[in-house]
Amino acid sequence: MIKKIISGLILLMLISLVSINHSNAQGCMEPSSDEGVSIKGYIQPQWEYYQTTDKKDANSFTFNRARIAALGNIPYDISYFVMVDFSKFKSGSPWLLDAFISYNRYEWAKISFGQFKSPISLEQNTPCQSLHTIYRSRVVNELAGPQRDMGAMIFGGTAESKLHYYLAVMNDYEKGFEDENNAKSVKGRLTFAPLEFLQIGGSFAYGKTGEKEDNEKTRFGGELQLNYGNFLFQGEYLWADDTGDYTTGGGCDGTPIEYHTGGVTRSGYFAQAMYMTSWNLQPVVRFESYDSDVDIDDNTETIMTFGFNYFLNDWTRVQLNYLYKAEQGNEIPNDRVALQVQVKF
């Protein structure tokens, strides 16, 4: 399996090297200038009203994210990016998100080394301050992780090019911890824009995780994006197979990671649509489905999100989401309303 995956990705890379003349940085922010350090960041205070399993409603003011980044360029062709999250609601203490160095001389083959987002999934690689809903989808949180990982990546493509590629070798273990084995995971993503308003893509990952030799994980994903005028549609499918031990939880929503013994095959998808009106108000609707074990019947979870984004200016927006959640076989009260205000600086 690994030989087939690597051979196929090498072929995709060769095609990419012929077709691509430019490349984007894979960080979620860009320096303000080529001189000195740029300090950027954003805060996302929010209020949540939610149901609990004991059928009692609860509400709370909280911080989804409070992040500061230092980034810049060094002559010649070197850039750096460091980001820390100070929201104790998610991790209990400030924690390092990104810390990587990039070599940017060749636009068709830039290189990053350090800790950064895994090159899997359209939504996972959408910066948090640019998400169209307050929360990432369940399937991406569960199957695309670890969201950030240690490794090295080669990538290429620009806004002008039709093809973008990302190929990384990574630990594939918990963020901030050394790998538990000598094996590494190979992860990749390829996107193609045959038309100005259409982008399609796919991603994959294969490797060994944890201490046991039989702990293997395989991921495949497909994505679609239509961006026509003020209308935007995005859809994504992820399939995951784990042998040996595996984990659930984690991801961007701060859910604690749980460890499980025994293999499992999981899958899921989401589709979302939105329209930017002339009043800076953007209605959003999303449907998502997650199957925690494809070999078991009646265990699919679905979530419908209804909401809107209101942009006060280029740096400030307000998001309001209602999440209607339904579980096959074991319905539990867990619907949620969330209000979030974001300021970028």
Hey, how many other C-beta atoms are within 10 angstroms of the C-beta on 77?
12
Q: Report the predicted TM-score, pTM, of the whole model to 2 decimal places.
A: 0.86
Domain CATH number, residue 323: 2.40.160.10
For residue 253, the model assigns a pLDDT of 58
Res. 19 pLDDT band, cuts 50 70 90: very low
Q: Return the pLDDT at 183.
A: 84
Q: What digits encode the pLDDT tens for the residues 320-341?
A: 999 999 999 888 888 999 999 9
Which residues does 245 contact at the CB level (< 8 Å), separation at least 6?
Answer: 209, 210, 212, 215, 259, 260, 261, 262
Six token digits for residue 163: 């093809």
Convert the pLDDT of each residue in 53-109 to its tens digit.
Answer: 776 889 999 988 999 999 999 988 999 999 999 987 766 678 899 999 999 998 889
108 with 96: CB under 8 angstroms? no
- CA–CA dist 20, 187 (Å, integer): 20
Q: What pLDDT score does 22 carry?
A: 33
pLDDT band (50, 70, 90) for residue 36 = confident
Mean pLDDT of 140-147: 92
Phi, psi (rounded to 5 degrees) for 153:
-140, 140
Total number of domains in the chain: 1
Domain residues for the domain of 14 are: 2-344
What are the C-alpha distances in Å from 22 to residues 16, 172, 176? Answer: 11, 28, 32
